[in-house]
Amino acid sequence: MADSSKEDFLRLIKRVGAFLTVKISNLWRHLDSRSVGAIAGLAFAVLFTWRLLRTPRGQQRRQPKRPGPPASTSNSGNIASSDDVSNPAEDSKTQDVIDEFFQPVKKTRVQLQLTLSEIVRQRLSEGRKVTCRLLGVILEENGPEELQKQVTVRSSVLEVLLEITKFCDVYLMEQVLDDESEKKVILALEEAGIFTSGGLIKDKVLFCSTENGRSSFVRQLEPDWHIDSNPEIVHQLSRFIRYQLHISSVKNERAASNVFTATSLEQFFGCV
């Protein structure tokens, strides 16, 4: 009986839909606001009724249960519908998917490590001009007398120095005793590839005859950073230069708040 009534109602809806299609096409240009409202209301009512009939019986609101027979008589009243009982396994699986979706992305150890370029920029506090002495920092030799015999560029410092020259205006300077020492220094730097990157040119390698001459170079250039291995020069310049790096194998007391100490240039940037 119920199925027959449902089929009759569906046929009625189809007929009403066909009728409305014809009438709307003919009367659309002559409709006033009241007619439009009436048709909209009828369409809404038909749609609502159709959705109601299509709703599965299990999803309809359940009617209040009447008191069932005693348990000793029948157990059928205590059995819940399978549609109304949630599945704990399905709920757990759904929650796991949600938790995994919103889990923060975990960076690998490689991703967490800063590149050398980022370390250099960070350690130099975005300084744009750097002056640096050669002896004891870039070169293996520690005195100008040694430069008369040989000049050796420290291979371990090349990577850091070249990285600094990529974004800083770098000037190298040293005290020499003769012109021959200057030529040897320039040749050693060229053979090490320091001039090939384009960040440093030969004209920015400065020479002087005294230690005070190097100090004068630094004050004239007004760098953001000066790197030196002479504690007296570092102390003299601490009042004029924003930051200094003192390269020393011995850990001395900090000369000033703007002076940092490291055993080597590469050690200061964490490359050893």
Task: Write down the pTM of the prediction.
Answer: 0.58
CB 182 within 8 A of CB 207: yes
| CA gyration radius, the chain | 43
- Counting other chains too, the contacts that 16-20 makes at CB distance below 8 Å and 24 or more residues apart are 16/42, 16/46, 17/46
pLDDT band per the 50, 70, 90 thresholds, residue 106: very low
Q: Could you tell me which of 215, 213, 212 has the C-alpha nearest to residue 223?
A: 215
CB 181 within 8 A of CB 148: yes
Average pLDDT, stretch 1-29? 64
- Confidence at residue 256, expressed as pLDDT on a 0 to 100 scale: 86
pLDDT band per the 50, 70, 90 thresholds, residue 146: very high
Partners of 30 in the β-ladder: none
For the residues of 3-49, what is the DSSP string, one character each? HHHHHHHHHHHHHHHHHHHHHHHHHGGG--HHHHHHHHHHHHHHHHH
Q: Tell me, what amino acid is at 76?
A: S
Nearest-angstrom CA–CA distance, 178 and 144 = 9
Nearest-angstrom CA–CA distance, 247 and 139 = 12
- Confidence at residue 50, expressed as pLDDT on a 0 to 100 scale: 66
Nearest-angstrom CA–CA distance, 18 and 23 = 9
Instruction: Give the number of other Cβ atoms within 10 Å of residue 233's Cβ.
Output: 19
pLDDT above 70 covers a percentage of the chain that reads 61
Average pLDDT, stretch 134-149? 96
Across 80-84, 112-116, 223-227, the highest mean pLDDT is recorded for 223-227
Tokens in use for 126?
Answer: 């975005």
How many residues are recorded in the chain? Answer: 272
Phi, psi at 225, each rounded to 5°: -135, 140
- Confidence at residue 77, expressed as pLDDT on a 0 to 100 scale: 45
CB 156 within 8 A of CB 188: no
- The model's pLDDT over 42-58, given as tens digits with 9 standing for 90+, comes to 776 667 666 666 655 54
Q: Which of 17-21, 213-217, 237-241, 260-264 has the lowest mean pLDDT?
A: 17-21
Burial 92-106 (b: 16+ CB within 10 A, else e): eeeeeeeeeeeeeee
Average pLDDT, stretch 116-131? 90
